Amino acid sequence: MNLRRLGVAFLLLGTAVAFGDRLDDAALRDSMMAKGPLFGHRWLEKNGLEDYLFRQSWKPIQDSGLVCCGRWSFGPSLKVSLRVTPDDTIICLTRGSGASLIRFRSQDSVTLDLLGDVNFAGIPRRAILTDTLVIAGIHSGGTGLEVHGASNPAQPNLLSRVDLPVVNDIAVKDSFVYVACEDDTLRIYNVANPRSPVLVGSCRDSCDLFMTQAGNYCYLVHVSGVNIVDVSNPANPHRAGHIGGGEPLAVYVRDTLCYVTVYQYGLRVWNISDIGAPQQVGTLPGPDALDIGMAATCDTVVYTPVFDVISVAQPSNPKLLGHVDIQEQLEYGIGIVPALNYGLAAAYATGMVAVDIRSPAAPTLDTTTFSAGSVVDIDIAGNRAYLASDRTGMAILDVSDPARPTQLGRLPLPRTNYLCYSVVADDSFAFLHWYQVPQFRSVDVSDPTRPTLAGGADVHGPPRDMVLRDSFVYVAELGRFQVVNVARPREPVLVGSCSGDGVAVVVQDTFAYTAAGAIRITNIARPDSPFVVGTIAGHSATGLAVSDTFLYFPYVYDTLFTYSVANPARPRLLSAVQTGVWPWDVTLGESKAYVALSDGYGVEVFDLADPGRPIRRGRASAPGDVRRLCYSNGLLYAAMWEAGVVIYETTATAVGESGTVESCRSRFRVWPSVATDYLRFSADRTTRELDIAVFDISGMRLGNATVQAETKGGATQGKIGFVGLPAGVYVVRVSSQGTNLTAKVVRTKGR
């Protein structure tokens, strides 16, 4: 770290708690995330710190035995795209690593009906709905340009992907897609055949935030001004003009007028009748707005998502007509529903906000929905996933079908500038960090569609991580380790406390392990009198895992450490294995260690056949930064910060195998991999030669799974019944003459 970077890091840390000498990078990253992805990126680039937020584009990777089997892609809302016909208005809301297709209705009140969702390989700056296509430019953790079919909004399907550098924004006109990439290029693709986009032209020009297309020109917002590119001939785009002054944030063009919002200066109006020599004609001071909209049926009013209503009837003298407070720090996108007099704002954590603008001087909030924040923690209890989102509170997902996780309910924070760091749960109650005292709260989740606060306990500070064991919750905080008795969950009681920083905690037997600026081992044999028995100094970490006498934790730069804790008072280093960039968390399952990586690098898998010597086996890609991992019943759940949740199926099993293991694909096949009551199978053997068995994930052979099979042409076909078995992961094994053929299946609906 050079001196200039170090000085800036300490400046930002002046108002934060430092976890240790090597966690300043993590604190800086979180500081930038709190500013939102757009201002954060531009600020880092302006100050020469872009390597703190290294971004790249890559192809999805699956070389690890992890297979993505389910996505809940939703996070902060960024942009609004509208498809308007005489009969209908469909909204495309870009949110997290996906987009939601929503029907807008307005009669007595606004109704927003969810039609379907689209999953992207990464996090887009913008997704645009046009005709029957959804087109997205992926800004982080993805492959560049994606085209999805949406003729049936309930079942959108991927048509094509184009590998590109990081995409800062896109615009669409007719069959052309204009793509502004971070390598200072503008590329033009023809998607007349959406399954095979064709590059028709490109040029060197810069865009670091947003862009728009109007007439024969693309207008690219850059920190140095608005770059105007002539695209009248798509095969030969070229710079035609430039609007300088300040740091532009958003641009909108109507006829010969260009409206630009400028950081800390408000709105500026430019005459662009001479595209090579724009002339400023009007200004209006105001707050920073990251989008501008104008109704197609109105030439005199501009709406910005702050939410300001501005008259530009006199371009030389724009006037503020009205304002409504959306109570959101970051409003990125806006769309105006023509003829219906509504403005739709994409607010970062609040979601979709509908504003009634029938009276421009007195706009009013009508509806807010589709809120989703950045997922920072996850816990699995039965068929539910509990998510802690930093700005929006707790969400509960139904994961009984891992391929289709759906939201059941949410316990929202009252304001989006409050935070929620951690959550754990059992069947009827969840326990989470709350924004105000008491910061440890219990939540009744017996009705998961309507979680309600039930009780609380005063703790030292915000719970950064928690573990629920029996009737105790073990809480890691900055500065303290706490034990809360939840035997009576409506009346939780703080029963034990000792010193020690903690942003992560795991528990095994009578010891708790906490991580922050150092690793601490705490004796919890008496929950009312915990005390530190061992310390591993000099190692900052944000996650850890323990199995038997082995402790694993990722060092904040690029290492997975393994320590022996057979003697907790004297932990002993066993190995230090290199990981990908910036590991955040680690969890264990099926003799594997799974390490969460930042910067879209996904999840790395380490083999623990020798627990003291992890061996890197591969990596699975992810749409965003992986903050927390949770392993349950053969499935790996990953909290993806702004990209929502990814569910991976693991391919290792707990079934002992002997003899030769042959390819399941060539010799034995089962389908579907996610089943309800039955699955089908085929094998190139006769029933006389086969021993067909079903095991649970622990390796126990089950006697209540039914097998029906028949031989045709020397091969066996049939089905296996799971009726009466609980939901979970099962292994089907076929043995024949010393050869074992295995396959894994997930049962989604048990009795």
Supply the pLDDT for residue 431.
98
How far is Cα 401 from Cα 641, in angstroms, rounded to an integer?
Answer: 22
Is 687 found in the same domain as 637?
A: no
Do residues 485 and 553 share a domain?
Answer: yes
Structure confidence at residue 652 as a pLDDT band (50, 70, 90)? very low
pLDDT band at 192 (very low <50, low <70, confident <90, very high): very high
Strands (E), 434-518: 440-444, 452-457, 465-469, 472-476, 480-485, 493-499, 504-508, 511-515
Q: For residue 248, is it within any domain?
A: no
What pLDDT does 650 receive?
Answer: 84
Tell me what pLDDT residue 591 has. Answer: 87
* 709 and 595 in a common domain: no
Residue 713 has what pLDDT?
Answer: 62
- Report helix, strand or coil for 364: strand
**Integer Cα distance of 208 and 236 in angstroms:** 22
Q: What is the 3-state secondary structure (H, E, C) of 82-123?
A: EEECCCCEEEEEEECCEEEEEEEEECCCEEEEEEEEEECCCE
Last residue of a domain, one of 53, 76, 91: 53
Helix (H, G, I), strand (E, B) or coil at 141: coil
676 & 615 share domain: no
**What is the tens place of the pLDDT at every residue in 13-57?**
222 333 333 334 444 555 555 555 555 556 556 655 554 444 444
On whether residue 94 sits in a domain, the answer given is no
Q: What is the mean pLDDT of residues 737-747?
A: 67
Instruction: Assess whether 49 and 10 both reside in one domain.
Output: yes
pLDDT for res 694: 83
Residues 636 and 681 both lie in one domain: no
C-alpha span between 508 and 512 (Å, rounded): 6
What token pair was written down for 153?
């909004």
Q: Of 270 and 660, which is predicted with more confidence?
A: 270
pLDDT computed for residue 305 by the predictor: 86
- Going by C-alpha positions, the residue among 495, 478, 488 that lies closest to residue 442 is 488
- In contact, 638 and 622? CB cutoff 8 Å: yes
Q: What is the CA radius of gyration of the chain?
A: 28
pLDDT, tens only, 700-727: 778 777 777 777 666 777 888 887 788 7
Q: 329-364 pLDDT, tens per residue?
A: 567 888 888 766 889 999 888 889 999 998 999 999
Q: Cis before residue 60, ω within 30 degrees of 0?
A: no
Taking the alpha carbons at both ends of the chain, their separation in whole angstroms is 57
CATH of residue 699: 2.60.40.10
Residue where the block lists tokens 């707790």: 394
pTM of the model: 0.81
Q: What pLDDT is recorded for position 733? A: 77
Mean pLDDT of 619-629: 90
Q: Please calculate the CA angle 555-51-620 and round it to the nearest 5 degrees.
A: 55
* Average pLDDT of span 445-457: 96
What's the confidence (pLDDT) of residue 539? 85
Adjacency order of strands within the sheet including 545-547: 545-547, 550-555, 559-564, 572-578
Residue 640 located in a structural domain: yes
Instruction: Return the half-sphere exposure (C-beta side, CA atoms, 13 A cut-off) of residue 639.
Output: 29
Do 405 and 471 lie in one domain? The reply is: yes
Same domain, 437 and 570: yes
Return the beta strands (E) in 548-591 as ranges.
550-555, 559-564, 572-578, 583-589
- 560 located within any domain: yes
| Co-location of 629 and 489 in the same domain | yes
Closest CA to 116 of 85, 73, 86: 73
Indicate the helix (H) or strand (E) that contains 332: strand 331-337
Angle at 312 between CA 308 and CA 318, to 5 degrees: 75
Q: Examine the pLDDT at 505 and tell me if it is beyond 70.
A: yes
pLDDT tens digits along 253-286:
999 999 999 998 999 999 999 999 999 999 999 9
The per-residue pLDDT for 731 is 76
Q: Cα–Cα distance between 734 and 690 in angstroms, integer? A: 6
Which pLDDT value is given to residue 685? 60
Angle at 388 (CA atoms; ends 382, 390), nearest 5 degrees:
170
Secondary structure (DSSP) of 403-452: TS-EEEEEE--SSTTS----EEE-SSEEEEE-SSSS-EEEEE-SSTTS-E
Does some domain include residue 80?
no
- Of 650, 684, 712, which residue sits at a domain end? 650
Same-domain pairing of 526 and 665? no
311 or 672: which carries more pLDDT confidence? Answer: 311
Worst-scoring range by mean pLDDT, 5-9, 120-124, 425-429, 632-636? 5-9
Angle, alpha carbons 736-740-741 (nearest 5°): 105
Q: How far apart are CA 17 and CA 274, in angstroms?
A: 54
Q: Looking at residue 633, what is its pLDDT?
A: 87
Edge to edge, what strands does the sheet with 429-433 contain?
Answer: 423-425, 429-433, 440-444, 452-457
| Average pLDDT of the segment spanning 549-578 | 92
Residue 749 above 80 pLDDT?
Answer: no
Closest C-alpha to 351, from 324, 376, 326, 388: 326
In a domain, residue 240? The reply is no
- Decide if 341 is inside a domain: no
User: 590, 621, 650: which is the final residue of a domain?
Assistant: 650
* pLDDT tens-digit series, residues 277-302: 999 999 999 988 889 998 877 778 88
- CA–CA distance, 134 with 177 (Å, rounded to integer): 11
Question: CA–CA separation, 384 vs 408, rounded Å?
Answer: 9
Angle, helices 24-34 vs 3-13, to 10°: value is 60
Q: ω before 611 within 30° of 0 (cis)?
A: no
Residues 476 and 569 in one domain: yes
Residue pair 91/104 in contact (Cβ under 8 Å)? The answer is: yes
Phi/psi region, residue 460 (left: phi>0; alpha: psi -120 to 50; beta: rest), is alpha
Q: Which residues contact 377 (CB under 8 A, 6 or more apart)?
A: 387, 388, 421, 422, 423, 465, 627, 628, 639
Q: Is 254 helix (H, G, I), strand (E, B) or coil?
A: strand
Give the span between the Cα atoms of 472 and 464, in whole angstroms.
16
Please say if the pLDDT value at position 653 is more than 60: no
Helix 24-34 to helix 37-46 angle, to the nearest 10 degrees?
Answer: 130
Which of the given ranges, 20-24, 239-243, 426-430, has the highest pLDDT on average?
Answer: 239-243
For strand 739-747 and strand 660-661, is the pairing parallel, antiparallel, or unpaired? parallel
Quote the number of domains for the chain. 3
Tens-digit pLDDT profile for residues 89-102? 999 999 999 999 99
Q: Is residue 108 a part of any domain in this protein?
A: no
Residue 674 pLDDT > 80:
no
Mean pLDDT (the chain, rounded): 84
For residue 365, the one-letter residue type is L
What is the domain extent for residue 733? Answer: 660-747
Which CATH number characterizes residue 424's domain?
2.130.10.10
* 300 or 231, which is more confident: 231
Q: What region does 644 belong to: left with phi over 0, alpha with psi -120 to 50, or beta?
A: left
Together in a domain, 637 and 587: yes
- What is the helix (H) or strand (E) element at residue 68, kind and residue range? strand 66-72
Residue 693's pLDDT is what? 80
- What pLDDT is stored for residue 329 in this prediction? 58
